[in-house]
Homo-oligomer: A and B are copies of this chain.
């Protein structure tokens, strides 16, 4: 049983649940049944551990976006992208918690600045690619909004209270982007 992996796993969970600052290295070690020193044998320091986790977990995003590359129509592809994002909100709540938590905390944001920037560019780029394929009127502003909208929904679903109507929101969201771009933009 790889103890390094074990540390990563436990740390990911605890960082997500409690936040980075509020998760002590000792807490991780205790939960991972590992000595205190081992963390620093495998990772330069707590910050580097966070970076490692961030890199690893954000690859999920890439995978979602990549999985959409099948031989389907642009519209279906767009819907599938949205579908993937919503599915992930439900299945990887922890991941989203970590992602948002880390982005909104000045300290942690500084630690991960380069990685966040990179990932953000990727998201934007991907959204732009799929939106453009769907509608020739899609602008970069639409991509910014697409990403913002998903973030906003994630935040409200995850951090707001239980009664968030995610399914209904999803339906409206799909309608918004399949209708908006396909028809509205061109009308206006």
Interface residues of A (CB under 8 A from B): 17-19, 21-22, 97, 100-101, 103-107, 109, 117, 120, 140-142, 144-145, 147-153, 155-157, 159-161, 164-165, 168-169, 172-173, 175-176, 179-180, 184, 188
With A18-B107, A19-B21, A105-B19 as known contacts, state yes or no: A169 contacts B188, CB within 8 Å: no
Taking the closest CB of chain B, its distance from the CB of A15, in whole angstroms, is 10
Contact assessment for B159 and A145 in the assembled complex, using a CB-CB cutoff below 8 Å: no
> How many identical subunits does the complex contain?
4
Q: Are A17 and B106 in contact (CB under 8 A)?
A: yes
A152→B176 CA distance, assembly (Å): 16
Given known A-B contacts A159-B103, A180-B176, A169 and B148 have beta carbons under 8 A apart: yes
